[in-house]
A and B are shown apart, each in its own frame.
Chain A
Amino acid sequence: MRPTDTSDPEYFHRVVDCQYACPAHTPVPEYIRLIAQQRYSEAYLINWESNVFPGVLGRTCDRPCEPACRRGRVEEEPVAICRLKRVAADYKDDIADRLPKAGKSNGKKIALIGGGPASLTVARDLAPLGYEMHLFDAQAKGGGFMRSEIPSFRLPESVLDEEVGYVLDLGIKATFNTFVDSLQSILDKDYDAVFVGSGAPRGRDLPNLPGRNEADKNIHIGLDWLANVAFEHVKKIGKRVIVLGGGNTAMDCCRTSRRLGGEEVKVIVRSPFADMKASDWEKEDAIHEGIPILDNHVPKEFVVEKGKLIGMRFEKVEAIYHEDKRRELVPTGDEPVFVPCDDVLIAIGQENAFPWIEPSTGVNFTSSGVPVLDPLTMQSTRSNVFFGGDAAFGPENIITAVAHGHQAAVSIDLFCRGADLKVRPAPDVTLVSQKMGIHEWSYDSEPVDGKREAVPLVELEKALKNRALEVELGFDLETAFKQAERCLNCDAQTVFVPSNCIECDACADICPTTCISFIENAPEPELRKNLLVPATNEEQPIYVSEKLKTGKVLVKDEDVCLHCGLCAERCPTAAWDMQKFFYNTAKAAPILGDAR
């Protein structure tokens, strides 16, 4: 295997699992250390620079960082990263004067359609550069789906107002209660660029079918339901499930149902089997999993008994194909068919999310109705129109919307300056030794044993009485410190200088988690197998040194390294050092210097 090139920042970036997994690449260990040092404002600002909504995210984030956390691999549970973020937000001082201000006008104007996390991120990144930002939203206040879809017992309005306010205070010209019904009308106003952050398309419903409202509890819109399953908000479904629709979403729904407790799952579709929109292989896979597909059945009624859904009634039809290729579904006159069920998933297509974007604007959409975008730049097929958040690739989450916003802002800035959008600015990276003495590092290098603790909750009785009362109380400062100390400081990188090594084995002998081997070099798969403990976690890189004096190489498996610094403490020649790796994704906005 070739020696590892640690001068490529992406190598050490990967080692900081949480930061790497975060779509916005928030420097997690850095802010957790600041919390342990009781520097809550600085911890907040590190977050704010990366993810714009620390208070919101500290309560509601989907936390892709936590399953990635190294602690979960060496102990049982990951660091409570998300709830520590909330600690920073809860205990910070007034930081308003440390935030950037609107820059001196550069004469450029940008329109933002939608006032959710993606648009607000673009505004936050571009306003300090002197762009004039015009934001339009149909709601009365900013925040988008953070406001409309997250119940206030999870996210108090005051927290949202504060963080939306920090952005709007950058001189954003916001127009609320205004639904933009024509992109052309916006383009006509001569904006230098337009950012569309108008949220996700909605799955279609059957609002007028009898029984729809009474049975609401057991009727789910397929797309939303799939998203809820993905976010683990939904973990099971009834034994008997009807999936309405014949497209790929219907296939996803029926197969997912089978995995969540659905035993008798049926797909019921209006059209003949051959006309179904789902790909042949998707249909085959569903049938293979024991899911019958009933075609030529048109839904007529949700049958409700004693307030509970017990099944659905269908009319049988036949397809007649006219000469002009028009298809007509004609009732056969048979008795209506009753199919018993516990739950219904409606997967009959999507509402058009962009009826307001005229084809003449040159913004193109795929056949499934999502905009055609460059995933790197977020640019659409019309060069001055950019997308982000759920409007870009369908439903994701807040932190992904923020990450899109940062990238779109970079693109818009490059676009307005006439630069090449594909040449992305490099991340801001530093790598600095943390050595203070023979056994002393500038971070708490000793991995503590403490277990993860749950966040305390408000008394149930109180909580149920007041819909706006926040249920989670957040960590108190003592708990926050203990939880912060669980962080393994994965950004304190083990940096190895092969030319200093005398191969005394001291590092390999001391390493508590047996990460280091002095060994003959070999191709990667073989090398992974030959280590003292084989490196079976392929998602984690292994470091391979240049050839040492004896002809062997040093290999370090990054998988369960504790970043305890013992290798560097036991090294007689300082071939190892612990160096803090700070990685800040490039943003359009200038670096928030005094945060660190």
Chain B
Amino acid sequence: MSYIKPNFRHPRLPENALGHTVADYDGAISTLCAGCGHDSISAAIRNACFLSSIPPHRIAKVSGIGCSSKMPTYFLGKSHGFNSVHGRMPSVATGASLANRSLTYIGVSGDGDTASIGMGQFVHLVRRNVNMTYVVANNGCYGLTKGQDSATADHGSISKYGEVNSFDGIDLASLALLQGASFVARSFSGDKEQLEPLIRAAMGHNGFAFIDVVSPCVTFNNHAGSTKSYEATRDHLDVMPLDFVPMREEIRTQYSEGTSKSVTLHDGSVIYLHKAETGFATNDRTGSLTAIQKAKDDGRILTGLLYLDPDTQDLNHNLKIASRPLNELGKDELCPGSKVLNSINEGLR
């Protein structure tokens, strides 16, 4: 019987710039159902943090409630974490980001957690451009409570109990775009080749980065008739592949003219977008909305980087929050004394 992950690792695991192996980014063994898409996303986040050489103790994981929101336990066991209330992760993330702007924030949520109970908080998080990566593990159902249709379930999708969904699903990527998100992407849990560079780019982005990840629920939403099963998703994927090259690494691969386009992030990292021949532009919000809608009309699921504004300003900047984290400010800075008060008062006379 084993609910225990053995302590042995491959003796020749590669190391990142910090001298860590990917095992240093592992968490506890997953208690999700075997084959749940969420586990693949956990592994992709782990790999992305390893590849981008982010020190585990400089990362904070935040989540709400749901199978998806349990995920942070299963990766980055040496990072900070806050498993909050259903749909309330955005307020915790906002507060944390304002108090300590120096950490990398990874929010993990579900379609229920984000599009149903948490919708109100979510749109404000987007609107405020909180500097974080927000991943929705989107399985079209409430996995944790036994598979009820969620607000992202597609029109016409058949539930495990045989009901045909008669409502239109909310498209979270389009919603984020409409609400002014500066980084919007979509991917599939079964496509790490795309998901890993997307997460790395999102973490490198200075502002709110949203990734909607189709993540099949093997237990309640992986049957014939479901539009979010492994098979249905694979059959309808329209993938826009990409590569992520961090600032400190030299670019090794040469991409031929015309097939690739590059976008440089604030920190100097470069995202290479392949399939440029489609004419898709990541800096065109309206074009992106149209492309998503068109793909949907054609029965395709468009995945890749959908929109990016690398020069956006995040919440901390807009609110003119202290440039250092609050926990680094001493008594003298927080309580500058009567002399400073007097000079302020003088200035108001």
Contact = CB atoms under 8 A, between A and B. Distances in A.
Contact of A572 (B7, B35, B189, B190): B35
The interface centre, meaning the residue of A73, A508, A565, A570 with most chain B CB atoms within 10 A of its CB, is A570
A440 B37 CA distance: 23
A486 to B, nearest CB: 11
Contacts of B216: 504
B210 interface: no
Contact of A447 (B6, B35, B43): B6
B344 interface: no
Contacts of A550: 234
B161 interface: no
A407 B242 CA distance: 60
Contacts of A75: 8
Given A73-B11, A533-B14, A572-B33, A439 B192 contact: no
Interface residues of B, number: 35
A452 to B, nearest CB: 15
B343 interface: no
B230 A502 contact: yes
A447 B7 CA distance: 8
A569 B4 CA distance: 11
A316 B194 CA distance: 81
Interface residues of A, number: 39
Contacts of A512: 5-9
Contacts of B12: 533-534, 536
Interface in B24-57: 29-30, 33-37, 39-40, 42-43
A4 interface: no
A572 B218 contact: yes
A18 interface: no
Given A504-B35, A533-B14, A440 B1 contact: yes
A505 B9 contact: no
Contact of A505 (B5, B33, B40): B40
B278 interface: no
Contact of B192 (A505, A549, A573): A505
B335 interface: no
Interface string A494-528: 00000000111110111011110000000000000
B201 to A, nearest CB: 21
B8 A506 contact: no
Contacts of B36: 506, 572
B318 interface: no
Contact of B11 (A510, A549, A560): A560
A74 interface: yes
A544 to B, nearest CB: 19
A446 B39 contact: no
Contacts of B34: 438, 506, 569-572
A515 B12 CA distance: 11
Contacts of B43: 505, 508-509
10 contacts: A502-B231, A505-B190, A509-B43, A512-B6, A513-B9, A515-B10, A549-B234, A550-B234, A560-B11, A569-B2
**Closest 10 A/B residue pairs (Cβ):** A572-B35, A509-B43, A447-B6, A504-B35, A446-B2, A514-B10, A572-B218, A513-B10, A570-B34, A74-B8
Interface of A: 73-75, 437-441, 445-447, 449, 502-506, 508-510, 512-515, 533-534, 536, 549-550, 560, 562, 564-566, 569-573
Given A560-B10, A566-B6, 4 more contacts: A446-B6, A564-B2, A570-B35, A570-B39
Interface of B: 1-14, 22, 29-30, 33-37, 39-40, 42-43, 189-190, 192, 216, 218, 222, 230-231, 234
